Amino acid sequence: MQGSYNAMNTLQEKFEKEIKKDLLKKLEKGNVHAVPTLGKITVNMGIGRFKDDKQYKESCIRDLEQITGQKPQVTKSKKSIASFKLRKGEDVGVCVTLRGVKMWDFFQNLVCVVLPRVRDFRGISKKSFDGHGNCSIGFREHLVFPTIDSNKIEKIKSLQVVITTTASNDSDGYLLLKALGMPFKKELKPIKNA
């Protein structure tokens, strides 16, 4: 486990020593502290129609803990929705928020190991940004994460990874993630500022 943190440190160190200076010139910021960086990474897994299945919920918690290296929190519904047969306070998913060392480690693992394992992967779409410089990536199968043992999995689960940056707009967030190694699709239209 210690080795993975050393690998993470190389990306964080590379950001501090090289990438930050390049972004300072590209974004024409007056101060090195104005250069965007990673804020946090949130990994969510929905329980959905299996909300009453205790064993499924426990397997979601176990799988997300293996993926992130951190114990997940169970998220509950904020209000009742009759059409989904959902009551307020019911378990609807599991969630992990990564910051600091674990965040950089997870990001490097995501870019270098996980995304190349995705079937028919052609790059992340620029439409994945939310208008505030944050990027959401959905995975249909959690088996792309190498920490999951496929022999012990009963049901394939989908999950979402949200990369929150300190960028104020999508173009700055895009340049940051691209500089950190995120593989984006080659699209004709440039990304617009919000």
Model confidence over 6-27: pLDDT tens digits?
444 578 888 888 888 888 888 8
What is the pLDDT, as a whole number, of residue 162?
A: 93
CB 165 within 8 A of CB 134: yes
Q: In what order do the strands lie in the sheet with 159-165?
A: 73-76, 91-98, 38-46, 159-165, 135-139
CB 104 within 8 A of CB 68: no
Instruction: Determine how many CB atoms are found less than 10 A away from the CB of residue 9.
Output: 14
The reply to whether the predicted model has a pTM over 0.75 is yes
Q: Cα–chain-centroid distance for residue 130?
A: 14
Binned at pLDDT 50, 70 and 90, residue 1 comes out as very low
Model confidence over 142-189: pLDDT tens digits?
888 888 877 777 788 889 999 999 988 888 889 999 999 888 887 655
